[in-house]
């Protein structure tokens, strides 16, 4: 006899996958009052995720953020299983499996069999178009993207992605759920990489490009911090994992049906394939991480990326990092991937670490001056490559003296 969730009410949620994102989403739901069922291939695998949740909760308890009673209550609201049939008692199902179309499709199709007819099902994918995943389902109108950010228990943003057939009711339920678990949602339309991933990767990509050009790693990192980012682009690449960034790049190209080679591709290939340096979680990446010591830039980095005799101006390094993300954000706005100026700004600060005192990517342009920003983009394009060419929308707004309006 299958044990059903202890609480068979509208506040029950199923999570597919118990890895970094799965157990993070489960934690966020449980502390917000939801009863959670976390499903993985084996109960042992699911238990590993459960123990990660317990570790986060124990830290909160030790710091006095929650009482012993609250700790026990939250723990009692989380169950684990390897049996999809238990999803019958849940109102919301969120898939949080690694980025593989076939694996995700199989899990979603199985979960849909047990989905509450008045509920919805979502994917935490960061790159695969929602409409492609939805095409494999019987009721695509009940399917939506809910892209969380790592670590989920600290990051406030949720990117809500509408597929071609996502119903307004499903969108409303998804937004309500995001608010119930104390997250800030932004709404975007379907596209490979959506909004946040497309804009995010430009920062590490530009850092890698400058490294390949012969600019000192320390100059690149200092420019990132000077611009107002929490960390430099190379340190960020290590934290996210260089190999994972490469996979994200390939996924977006695959679904965008583009096959262009860019300077950063060579850097990723060299670091991951040739040097086996994928980042902090592996043997190190652009940095070394000695035990009980501060991280430092890998001593052999200059051997593989020789330094130019004359570096480019520091202002150019700063501008290249900032403009790379802003231009991609404008392109997303132009293509209706994101339709709200406010959401574009909020998403860039809460999800991407864009300098918070700027007001966000599009507000930065308003303050910089539309015409001046366009002219600076043209300068960067001439000196450093066509990726800095202003989108048509930017040129038109500069010509007509318009600004990005939040209302």
Give pLDDT tens digits for 161-179: 999 999 999 999 999 999 9
Percentage of the residues of the chain whose pLDDT score is greater than 90: 86
Q: Is residue 199 part of a domain?
A: no
Domain count, the chain: 1
Q: Is 50 inside any structural domain?
A: yes
Tokens of 193: 């990489």
Break the chain down into helix, strand, coil percent, rounded to 5.
Answer: 55, 10, 35
Residue 196 lies in a domain: no
Residue 311 located in a structural domain = no
* 23 in active site: no
**Residue in 90, 107, 108 with CA at minimum distance from that of residue 177:** 90
260 band by pLDDT with thresholds 50, 70 and 90: confident
DSSP for 48-85 reads: HHHHHHHHHHHHHHHTTSS-HHHHHHHHHTEEEES-GG
Q: What is the pLDDT of residue 407?
A: 64
In 3D space, the residue among 336, 313, 322, 332 whose CA is nearest the CA of residue 377 turns out to be 322
User: What residue numbers bound the domain in which 147 lies?
Assistant: 12-190
Q: Which residues pair with 147 in a beta bridge?
A: 159
End-to-end CA distance of the chain: 55
Could you report the per-residue pLDDT of 102-143, keeping only the tens digit for each? 999 999 999 999 988 889 999 999 999 999 999 989 999 999
pLDDT score at 262? 87
Residue 406 belongs to a domain: no
Would residue 18 count as lying in a domain? yes
Tokens of 375: 């002219």
234 lies in some domain: no
Report whether pLDDT(377) > 80: yes
Least confident residue range of 10-14, 305-309, 395-399: 10-14
Examine the pLDDT at 227 and tell me if it is beyond 60. yes
Q: What pLDDT shows up at residue 104?
A: 94
Q: Please say if the pLDDT value at position 224 is more than 70.
A: yes
Look at residue 1 and tell me whether its pLDDT is greater than 60: no
**pLDDT over threshold 80, residue 9:** no
Q: Look at residue 118 in the predicted model and tell me its pLDDT.
A: 87
Q: Which of 147, 153, 296, 304 is catalytic?
A: 147
Looking at residue 4, what is its pLDDT? 41
* Residue 346 belongs to some domain of the structure: no
Which whole number is the average pLDDT over 46-70?
A: 94
Here the CATH number for the domain that contains residue 88 is 3.40.50.720
pLDDT at 99: 86
- pLDDT given for residue 259 in this prediction: 61
Question: Is the pLDDT reported for residue 2 higher than 50?
Answer: no
Q: Output the average pLDDT for the chain.
A: 93
Strand 92-95 relative to strand 120-123, pairing: parallel
Hey, what are 403's tokens? 């600004």
pTM here is 0.91
Q: How far is CA 8 from the centre of its chain?
A: 32
């Amino acid at each position: 006899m299958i044990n059903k969730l202890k609480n068979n009410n509208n506040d029950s949620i199923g999570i597919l996958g118990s890895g970094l994102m799965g157990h993070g989403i489960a934690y966020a739901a449980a502390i917000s009052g939801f009863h959670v069922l976390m499903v993985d291939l084996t109960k042992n695998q699911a238990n590993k995720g459960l123990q990660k949740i317990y570790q986060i909760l124990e830290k909160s308890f030790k710091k006095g953020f929650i009482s012993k009673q609250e700790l026990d209550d939250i723990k009692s609201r989380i169950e684990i299983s390897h049996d999809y049939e238990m999803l019958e008692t849940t109102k919301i199902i969120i898939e949080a499996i690694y980025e593989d179309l076939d694996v995700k499709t199989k899990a979603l199709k199985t979960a849909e069999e047990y989905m509450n007819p008045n509920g919805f099902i979502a994917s935490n994918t960061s790159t695969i178009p929602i409409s492609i995943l939805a095409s494999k389902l019987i009721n695509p109108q009940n399917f939506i993207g809910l892209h969380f950010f790592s670590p989920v228990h600290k990051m406030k943003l949720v990117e809500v992605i509408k597929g071609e057939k996502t119903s307004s009711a499903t969108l409303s339920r998804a937004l309500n759920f995001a608010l119930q678990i104390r997250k800030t949602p932004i709404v975007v339309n379907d596209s490979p990489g959506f909004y946040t991933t497309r804009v995010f990767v430009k920062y590490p990509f530009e850092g890698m490009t400058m490294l390949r050009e012969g600019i000192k790693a320390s100059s690149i990192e200092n420019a990132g911090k000077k611009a107002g980012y929490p960390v430099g682009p190379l340190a960020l690449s290590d934290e996210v994992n260089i190999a994972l960034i490469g996979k994200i790049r390939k996924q977006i190209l695959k679904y965008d049906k583009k096959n262009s080679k860019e300077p950063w591709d060579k850097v990723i290939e060299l670091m991951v394939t040739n040097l086996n340096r994928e980042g902090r979680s592996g043997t190190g990446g652009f940095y070394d991480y000695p035990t009980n010591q501060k991280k430092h830039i890998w001593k052999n980095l200059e051997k593989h990326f020789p330094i130019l005799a004359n570096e480019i101006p520091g202002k150019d390094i700063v501008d290249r990092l900032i403009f790379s993300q802003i231009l991609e954000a404008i392109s997303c706005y132009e293509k209706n991937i994101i339709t709200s100026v406010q959401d574009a700004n909020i998403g860039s600060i809460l999800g991407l670490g864009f300098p918070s005192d700027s007001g966000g990517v599009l507000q930065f342009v308003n303050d910089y001056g539309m015409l001046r920003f366009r002219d600076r983009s043209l300068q960067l394009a001439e000196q450093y490559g066509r990726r800095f060419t202003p989108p048509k929308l930017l040129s038109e707004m500069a010509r007509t003296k318009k600004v990005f309006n939040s209302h």
